[in-house]
Amino acid sequence: PPKVPGKCDLCSGELYQRDDDKEETVRKRIEVYEKTVPEIINYYKENSKLRTVSGDLDVDDVHSHLSELFLKERLLN
């Protein structure tokens, strides 16, 4: 929690909570994610369209790998 209620500790800007940032809404978002993402991944796997890059790499390596994939797939010039 912030040191001063309703104020950002870094910039003193106003802090607020969106109406849809409630536990019930977040749980529903996670439920929808867990239900739909495996279907989407499976679709791309079955159609030989899924490409993966490790999220454990540093930003420059992720960028490099993505650039290579895009060039290979002719998505970049």
Residue burial 44-68, b: 16+ Cβ < 10 Å; e: rest? eeeeeeeeeeeeeeeeeeeeeeeee
Q: Is residue 4 helix, strand or coil?
A: coil
pLDDT tops 80 at residue 7: yes
| Cα–Cα distance for residue pair 33/52, rounded to 1 Å | 18
Q: Is residue 14 helix, strand or coil?
A: strand
Tell me how far CA of residue 67 lies from CA of 17, 48, 51, 54, in angstroms: 37, 19, 12, 14
pLDDT of residue 73: 87
The pTM of the full predicted model, rounded to 2 decimals, is 0.59
12-49: pLDDT as tens digits: 999 988 888 899 999 999 999 999 999 999 999 999 99
